[in-house]
Structure 1
């Protein structure tokens, strides 16, 4: 399955995204929120996978305000350095605004409801998407720095699912406990913990990829999206 690049118009910024549609041509929508490597093959593969499951998926270029068209991997030291430099320059609130614009662009292409699913940096952005946009359901995989924005949780109005890696090298045990303790009693929030997994356990070909854990998380995500976006 192959998608296409489309334009996304925000209130103060225009950018592009990778769009993948199901064979039916339409369905519920999902915004696929990138890691620190841009809209790369991994993100396009996620969008294509969601399209194969009946969703209209759109992955926006959230680094476009810094450098449009970032498409790198996790396979070399130089790419990791560039990825961390981009993350350091990235404005999270601008990212949320661009996700809101992406949802607005995607919704007319769908059967009505639009959710969001993000990884790493995108996991934090998925949390903030649940807090500050009209996403109908949001999912974050091993989100970084969520503990720094927990005050925003009071604005959650629609379901949120978080996948937390117990041995996450970028989210220490204290941060994980803070996130869980602050969100566990919110009826809109579902938290799944993977005690033996490290960061990016669901990224194929990544150093910490674990197929069994990834399959379990992805099955939970699909069920969550189908329940809340139907």
Structure 2
């Protein structure tokens, strides 16, 4: 079982917390784990611990810290609360929070200086923002994984700012992300080095084992295996 704790991340307009899971061996590559609308809940903490077990320092920033620090809900019953916080989320401020988290991770003694990112749902969109917008001394993340980010299709004007390998996962039966929007993402990133997009016969949030009506075990397992291979390839040169 990974050692876990909370880290304090400082920004010019305040401090927030990030859940941290530590691997047995350090220094190690770090992976920022970006939350769904349910907050830093058992699912996100569990993913951090799985990454730590795989040898990564996992750090999950509290994205909703300005509206309700440590907000969390368990499953579909918390969607209304999560969407209320999402509507209050200032996407102009998010890149700075992601940048501060990446800078904090790189400065941690347990990090070897390499930092990737992985995000789910809302976090899938934030992972795209991490790849396109977060820079520390001119350097962005080293690799990013985005699971079913529903707002990415509206941000494709910044696709040419992707400077690292990116892995996209989408469900072909996602009621929130029409196939045409996935097609738009695929076209926008086509030909970019190290960028891959996979589709699964599954719906939205298929990786979330804490939301039974959304979880698809087969798709989740395949996507996670691909994710770990991708992270190993790009964060462990």
Is the shorter-chain TM-score for this pair beyond 0.5, marking a shared fold?
A: yes
SS in 2 for 1:113: strand
Count, aligned residues: 227
SS in 2 for 1:68: coil
SS in 1 for 2:158: helix
User: Could you tell me how far apart the structure 1 residues matched to 2:86 and 2:197 are?
Assistant: 25
Residue 65 of structure 1 deviates from its aligned partner by 1.2
One of 201, 215, 226 as aligned partner of 2:221: 215
Q: How does 1:60-99 map to 2 (within 5 A)?
A: 60-76=61-77, 79-99=78-98
Q: Is the contact between residue 74 and residue 210 of structure 2 (CA under 8 Å) also seen in structure 1?
A: no
Residue 170 of structure 1 deviates from its aligned partner by 1.0
Q: Is the contact between residue 42 and residue 210 of structure 2 (CA under 8 Å) also seen in structure 1?
A: no
Does 1:105 find its partner at 2:110?
no
Q: Runs of 5+ in structure 2 lacking a partner?
A: 135-139
Q: Is the contact between residue 26 and residue 55 of structure 1 (CA under 8 Å) also seen in structure 2?
A: no
Equivalent residue, structure 1, for 2:125: 124
Q: Runs of 5+ in structure 1 lacking a partner?
A: none
User: Could you tell me how far apart the structure 1 residues matched to 2:150 and 2:22 are?
Assistant: 29
User: Could you tell me how far apart the structure 1 residues matched to 2:132 and 2:11 are?
Assistant: 19
User: Could you tell me how far apart the structure 2 residues matched to 1:140 and 1:93 are?
Assistant: 19
SS in 2 for 1:85: helix
Does 1:227 find its partner at 2:233?
yes
In terms of fraction of residues, the more strand-rich structure is 2
Task: Give the root-mean-square deviation of aligned CA atoms.
Answer: 1.2
User: Could you tell me how far apart the structure 1 residues matched to 2:36 and 2:154 are?
Assistant: 18
Equivalent residue, structure 1, for 2:161: 155
User: Could you tell me how far apart the structure 1 residues matched to 2:173 and 2:127 are?
Assistant: 21
Q: Is the contact between residue 122 and residue 143 of structure 1 (CA under 8 Å) also seen in structure 2?
A: yes
Moved more, 184-193 or 131-140: 184-193
Residue 66 of structure 1 deviates from its aligned partner by 1.4
Equivalent residue, structure 2, for 1:139: 145
Map Cα deviations across residues 23-71 of structure 1 (whole Å, 9 max, x no partner). 1243100000000011111110010000000000000001001111101
Equivalent residue, structure 1, for 2:178: 172
Q: Is the contact between residue 142 and residue 234 of structure 2 (CA under 8 Å) also seen in structure 1?
A: yes
Map Cα deviations across residues 176-209 of structure 1 (whole Å, 9 max, x no partner). 1111122122223111111x21001111132121
SS in 2 for 1:148: helix
Q: After TM superposition, where is structure 1 displaced by more than 4 Å over at least 4 residues in a row?
A: none
Q: Is the contact between residue 43 and residue 210 of structure 2 (CA under 8 Å) also seen in structure 1?
A: no
TM-score scaled by length of structure 1 = 0.95
User: Could you tell me how far apart the structure 1 residues matched to 2:59 and 2:174 are?
Assistant: 27
